[in-house]
Structure 1
Amino acid sequence: MKLAIVGAGWAGVAAAVEAADAGWDVTLFEATRTLGGRARALPAQRPDGVALTLDNGQHILIGAYTEALALMQRVGVAPASALLCLPLALPYPDGTGLQTPRWAARWPAPLDAVAAIATAKGWRWRERWALIRASLAWQRAGFACAPQLTVASLCATLPPRVMDELIEPLCVSALNLPAAQASAQVFLRVMRDALFGTGFDGWAASSLLLPRNDLSALLPNAAVQWLQAHHSGRTRLRLGTRVLGLEPQAGGWQLQGSGWQEGFDRVVWATAASPAAQAMREAAASAQAEEFDRTDALRHWADSADALAFTAITTVYAWATGVRLASPMLALRAEPDAQAAPAQFVFDRGQLDPHDATAQGVLAFVISASEGERGDLQARVLQQAAQQLGLSNLQALQTVVDKRATFACTPGLQRPAQAIAPDLWAAGDYVNGPYPATLEGAVRSGLAAARLL
């Protein structure tokens, strides 16, 4: 049985590994020359002429992302080596903020999180107790709430400091939306897994996992190498091959490109939502009259994908000789004028990979739910670095703006289904599922699509 997977991002490679292990003959199509989709390596150069590898966006995992971590291990990546594991912490440059004490780092969930809350620097006891009380209330309610509730409404009784220093940063990093707009239902699912879930291979569920390697090397490259080593006779990778057409045929689907066409028994479409919707509309338009059922399904799915709204993420990479932060990851404070301090987090890539000389002095500033033009955002981030970090000598390396980085995870959102039409499935972090647009969501979607075959 022949399976085509269109798109070699994290969802696509997850589907390929699962399907190949199940005995499918797999062809993986990727329009670009780089694996990873929206989480991939990006070549760059420092101002001093040294070449280095960045990412098209700074990502983070947590210990509760068990499917993504298990898949890494399955294809030969050792998570303990590829990821820097930090206890739950959101420290600010002045040393305040939530930080799990060393003596509680290996406590089982949720005791590690309780210890972090109880010892949060700069917090009053009533603020700590309010958060503990709210977390226990969420647990008693089964981490469920009305689907139309926002995170801000869910947390309306929490003190301002807890909202400003914990809930808002967590919400904007996980859902890429401010608390006033984000789905409380999805936020609670993430909180449930992070605070009360099971971690991976001895890591706490709440652990912060920062990639040491570039994002293509972290999983997609290793997955393809594993496929070629273990299923070389039944898997093919076609890089730089854009699928331009999809047509229903008896017993499956026919894919078309520039100068080629090939039939498959099943198809998993693992591109981003917008190109997927466009492909389904074009497939519906090309279908014959006798294919009415498939045509109707294709159009209905395309409508649901087109209904998604998207939010942007901007990553500003900057560099200066000898720069080193107090921690590999720091939270940055919001200003009354949000435009004056747009970045919420900064990562010290030199600490993520101490053995990579090219990464020393490289910082990655992340602006979730970003708005504005690239040049203006870059200038404001450099000013923010000077004010909050005391770094006035940073030089911009590269600023990556992904205007459709994640779907807007708003209350009551209806996401596209995994099944598109007979013998055709979708995979991607936007497909209906429990998680927001995260690497874990993408991997889970790819695995689920392959298991539905």
Structure 2
Amino acid sequence: MKVAVVGGGWAGIAAAVALADAGHDIAVLEMAPHIGGRARSVAGEPPYDNGQHILIGAYRDSLALMRRLGVDPGTVLKRLPLALPYPGEPGLCLPPGPPLVSFTRGVLAHHGWPLSARLGLLAAAGGWLARGFRCDEALSVAELCAGLPAAARRDLVEPLCVAALNTPAPQASARVFLRVLKDALFSGADSADLLLPRRPLSELLAGPATAWLGERLRLGRRVQSITPGWRVDGEAFDAVVLACSSVEAARLAGPLAPAWAATAQALRFEPIVTVYLHSPGSALPAPMLALREGPQAPAQFVFDHGQLGGAPGRFAFVVSGAAPWVERGGCAEAVLAQALRELSWATPPVIDRLLTEKRATFACTPGLARPPARIAPGLYAAGDYIAGPYPATLEGAVRAGLAAAQGAAADAAGGGTGAKGAASGSPTKTP
């Protein structure tokens, strides 16, 4: 069958590879001059990443996709046990071992918290586990964790929430947050491990995918219309996967499925700002540190690229849920002041580069209505915003791409109902 994949981000790459592996004739139509979407490198020496990304051990499908394209995750990613050290504080660190044992040992060993805070967190986690990590969909993360000790909220819940959901805890969905905790902390011995890129981000997937897809890529091509048939700008296909942004997908699907398009158009977005500082001769105590944000402290995390195989003296400060700072301005200067207050430097740091992704993710709020993968028979959407249990992550995008490929191929083959996994947003396995 002939299938069009519109968009070449991580979802589009996943869909294209799965369809090609299944023997289908594919064309990937990408409006940019490159693929990779929001998870790519930009010009620099060495290149900068368009935002600092973290993968975790639970990202099974993303890691499998890398291997399929000839990338060794062990080479391009630095694997570390989950640790949230703060400047001058060891923070929470999970030792190796079975998930429940590791989490319990790590919390009990965190002497930066009073014993009452450690026991309170373990009691709350035990309750979440007993309830299958489910809760009322109307709850926010702040409401879910209101009874937790303040230290656990401040040093664990809030940074994990904004890192995973890119939405501040008072506005973030507790149901989605619990699913993240379940998969990250309790689904396998290595699921909580941090996987930090030690190569430019495009080398993880976009570059290898470009070589692998070859002539099937059509770059610099913005699709103007899709009509029943399926015809993409007049060219006939048996099925179409819309792996573009929700805004582009709504534009293209609007004439065909106005209700679906309306749901996609209703999504709100949260920005992420990455501020790169340069300080020759400086190094952090660890490759990644957590930071306590506040009215004059925008960043929640900082990464030492010199310890990750990148440019020595380059430091990436990440401001998630950055809408207030995008509106007020001055984020880079505030990050520099925060860095000078909280960290030690061999040479005075200077602002190197500011990268703002205004539509980094959808705002993952309680009870959010997200569009389903299946738009119509033979027409599917793939992206980190599609209905499902996960927030906007690289793994969510890859799983959505795999599910859309499965559903579109099934519809085009005459099944008519598509893949159940594609409709529900539940994860699928790499073919």
Provide the residue aligned with 1:159 in structure 2: 149
* TM-score w.r.t. length of structure 1: 0.87
The one-letter code sitting in structure 1 at the alignment partner of 2:330 is: D
Residues 117 and 151, structure 2, Cα contact 8 Å, conserved in 1: yes
Q: Please state how far the C-alpha of 1:76 moved relative to its aligned partner.
A: 1.2
Q: Please state how far the C-alpha of 1:144 moved relative to its aligned partner.
A: 0.6
Provide the residue aligned with 2:210 in structure 1: 224
| Correspondences of 1:166-181 after superposition (within 5 Å) | 166-181=156-171
Q: CA deviation digits over 1:217-264, x for unaligned, max 9?
A: 101222332344xxxxxx611112221222223xxx2112xxxx4211
The whole-number CA distance in structure 2 between the counterparts of 1:277 and 1:236 is: 24
Provide the residue aligned with 2:358 in structure 1: 403
Secondary structure of the residue that 2:99 maps to in structure 1? coil
The one-letter code sitting in structure 2 at the alignment partner of 1:369 is: G
The one-letter code sitting in structure 1 at the alignment partner of 2:227 is: E
Pick the aligned partner of 1:389 from 343, 360, 363: 343
The one-letter code sitting in structure 2 at the alignment partner of 1:28 is: V
Q: CA deviation digits over 1:37-92, x for unaligned, max 9?
A: 01111112xxxxxx220111111011111111111122211111111111010100
Residues 99 and 186, structure 2, Cα contact 8 Å, conserved in 1: yes
Provide the residue aligned with 1:291 in structure 2: none
Q: Please state how far the C-alpha of 1:154 moved relative to its aligned partner.
A: 1.1
Pick the aligned partner of 2:308 from 352, 359, 380: 352
Q: CA deviation digits over 1:16-39, x for unaligned, max 9?
A: 011111111010111112221011
Residues 13 and 224, structure 1, Cα contact 8 Å, conserved in 2: no
The one-letter code sitting in structure 2 at the alignment partner of 1:218 is: L
The whole-number CA distance in structure 1 between the counterparts of 2:76 and 2:287 is: 15
Residues 76 and 226, structure 1, Cα contact 8 Å, conserved in 2: no
Provide the residue aligned with 1:232 in structure 2: none
Deviates more, 1:109-118 or 1:396-405: 109-118
Secondary structure of the residue that 2:38 maps to in structure 1? coil
The whole-number CA distance in structure 2 between the counterparts of 1:409 and 1:417 is: 16
The whole-number CA distance in structure 2 between the counterparts of 1:85 and 1:345 is: 17
| Correspondences of 1:31-430 after superposition (within 5 Å) | 31-44=31-44, 51-100=45-94, 104-105=95-96, 107-198=97-188, 204-228=190-214, 236-249=216-229, 253-256=230-233, 261-281=234-254, 284=255, 295=256, 298-335=257-294, 338=295, 340-353=296-309, 356=310, 359-370=311-322, 371-373=324-326, 376-391=330-345, 393-430=348-385
Residues 88 and 116, structure 1, Cα contact 8 Å, conserved in 2: no
Q: Please state how far the C-alpha of 1:198 moved relative to its aligned partner.
A: 2.3
Secondary structure of the residue that 2:120 maps to in structure 1? helix
Residues 312 and 369, structure 1, Cα contact 8 Å, conserved in 2: yes
- The ranges of structure 1 where at least 4 consecutive aligned residues each deviate by more than 4 angstroms after the TM superposition are none
Q: Please state how far the C-alpha of 1:375 moved relative to its aligned partner.
A: 5.5
The one-letter code sitting in structure 1 at the alignment partner of 2:144 is: L
Q: CA deviation digits over 1:146-176, x for unaligned, max 9?
A: 1111111111111101100100000000011
The whole-number CA distance in structure 1 between the counterparts of 2:300 and 2:175 is: 23
The whole-number CA distance in structure 2 between the counterparts of 1:246 and 1:435 is: 28
The whole-number CA distance in structure 2 between the counterparts of 1:450 and 1:27 is: 13
The one-letter code sitting in structure 1 at the alignment partner of 2:212 is: W
Residues 300 and 319, structure 2, Cα contact 8 Å, conserved in 1: yes
* TM-score w.r.t. length of structure 2: 0.91
The one-letter code sitting in structure 2 at the alignment partner of 1:115 is: R
Secondary structure of the residue that 2:33 maps to in structure 1? coil
The one-letter code sitting in structure 1 at the alignment partner of 2:102 is: D
Residues 39 and 216, structure 1, Cα contact 8 Å, conserved in 2: yes
Q: Please state how far the C-alpha of 1:334 moved relative to its aligned partner.
A: 2.4
The whole-number CA distance in structure 2 between the counterparts of 1:299 and 1:366 is: 37
The whole-number CA distance in structure 1 between the counterparts of 2:205 and 2:103 is: 29
Secondary structure of the residue that 1:52 maps to in structure 2? coil
The whole-number CA distance in structure 2 between the counterparts of 1:313 and 1:149 is: 24
The one-letter code sitting in structure 2 at the alignment partner of 1:83 is: L
Q: State yes or no: 1:446 paired with 2:376.
A: no
The whole-number CA distance in structure 1 between the counterparts of 2:329 and 2:363 is: 24
Percent same amino acid at aligned positions? 51
The whole-number CA distance in structure 1 between the counterparts of 2:123 and 2:209 is: 43
Secondary structure of the residue that 1:126 maps to in structure 2? helix
Residues 331 and 344, structure 1, Cα contact 8 Å, conserved in 2: yes
The one-letter code sitting in structure 2 at the alignment partner of 1:366 is: V
The one-letter code sitting in structure 2 at the alignment partner of 1:275 is: E
Residues 4 and 27, structure 2, Cα contact 8 Å, conserved in 1: yes
Q: State yes or no: 1:14 paired with 2:14.
A: yes
The one-letter code sitting in structure 2 at the alignment partner of 1:206 is: A
Residues 167 and 321, structure 2, Cα contact 8 Å, conserved in 1: yes
Deviates more, 1:169-178 or 1:120-129: 120-129
Q: Please state how far the C-alpha of 1:303 moved relative to its aligned partner.
A: 0.3
The one-letter code sitting in structure 2 at the alignment partner of 1:440 is: E
The whole-number CA distance in structure 1 between the counterparts of 2:211 and 2:109 is: 45
The whole-number CA distance in structure 1 between the counterparts of 2:73 and 2:182 is: 22
Secondary structure of the residue that 2:318 maps to in structure 1? strand
Residues 298 and 325, structure 2, Cα contact 8 Å, conserved in 1: no
